Amino acid sequence: MKNRLKVLRAERGWSQWELAELLGVSRQTVNAIENGRYDPSLPLAFAIGKTFGQAIEAIFTPDDAA
């Protein structure tokens, strides 16, 4: 799954630590999601969407999407 987390975070000038704090997860989790190493659970994906004020599908895209 691809995502725009890194871009959205950079736009707001947040560090991975800050975003992790906002989401209530570890910095490693944020890093792993940004690197495409880990796909978050649905609750975490919703929390990410809420944090950035965007829908989940605006942040996450399936690999096979055109």
Partner 1 sequence: MEEPSERTLLWRQFKKRFNPWDALNAFLFTGSWFLARHLVAMPNLSHTVRAAVAFLPLPFLAWVFWKEWRKADRMDELERQIMHRASHLALLVTIGMLLTLGLFERGVGVNLSEFGFAEIWFLPWLFQMVIFVITFKRLEQPSA
Which residues lie near partner 1 (CB under 8 A)?
15, 17-18, 20-21, 24-29, 31-32, 35-38, 40-41, 44
DSSP character for 41?
Answer: P
User: Least distance in Å: CB of 34 to partner 1?
Assistant: 9
> φ and ψ at 4, to 5 degrees?
-105, 25
Residue type, 51: T
Cβ closer to partner 1: 9 or 40?
40
Separation between Cα atoms, residue 51 and residue 63, nearest integer Å? 23
User: Least distance in Å: CB of 31 to partner 1?
Assistant: 6
